[in-house]
A and B are shown apart, each in its own frame.
Chain A
């Protein structure tokens, strides 16, 4: 079956612009996570959805970052007023249901803010 998909694969934007990154999880997975990975580092947790609700958004760095999952499947990570420091690979992961289930990662969106 299909894995986690993310679009776009690359996004280049200018400082101050708004961007949306999309994640399509594995069918039937109720848990969805967003992470951010900077060069040479491990992924850093941003937000976790269980179904439609954001169960834990403690990793969002500030109020410029927001994510939604309105129908409990596809999720969109939204970044307002982008800054150069937001440049990173944004990874989405999904898991079946429980916190101990394996998280399967998508290919990521490489965001570059000029």
Chain B
């Protein structure tokens, strides 16, 4: 059974600082996604990572994937208040498991002005 662990689960940081959110998963995967969720809202797609070594960047966010370590990171550079949200990684099982995605518990990020 595919398990996805994110850490930290809660993160309070100051503007202009850098930080990284980690996503570990337990079995082989052919796809990994990062989503953002604002309070009371649905999920917004941020990145799709499909191969080992993949790196995607959008603004102050950068995501990478290491399939050998079964690890993805979401790096935040020079954080701004607008990035406050909950971030989820979601992993697809390529080993015959469910076709749907398995989500981590989410990282609740608060960026203080």
Contacts and interface: CB of A to CB of B under 8 A. Distances in A.
A110 to B, nearest CB: 9
A45 interface: yes
B100 A102 contact: no
B98 A43 contact: no
A46 B50 CA distance: 23
Contacts of B12: none
| Interface size band for B | 20 to 34
Given A48-B99, A59-B98, A99 B42 contact: no
Contacts of B33: 102-103
Interface string B1-19: 0001000000000000000
B102 interface: yes
B103 A42 contact: yes
Given A55-B99, A56-B98, A99-B30, A42 B104 contact: yes
A42 B42 contact: no
Contact of A41 (B44, B90, B101, B105): B105
Contact of A45 (B31, B50, B102, B105): B102
B101 A45 contact: yes
A56 to B, nearest CB: 4
- Interface SS, B side: strand
Given A91-B43, A103-B45, A42 B100 contact: no
A27 interface: no
A107 B43 CA distance: 8
A108 interface: yes
A99 B92 contact: yes
Contacts of B103: 42-44
20 contacts: A40-B105, A41-B106, A42-B4, A42-B104, A43-B90, A43-B101, A44-B103, A45-B101, A48-B99, A56-B98, A56-B100, A59-B98, A91-B42, A99-B92, A100-B30, A100-B50, A103-B33, A105-B44, A106-B42, A107-B41
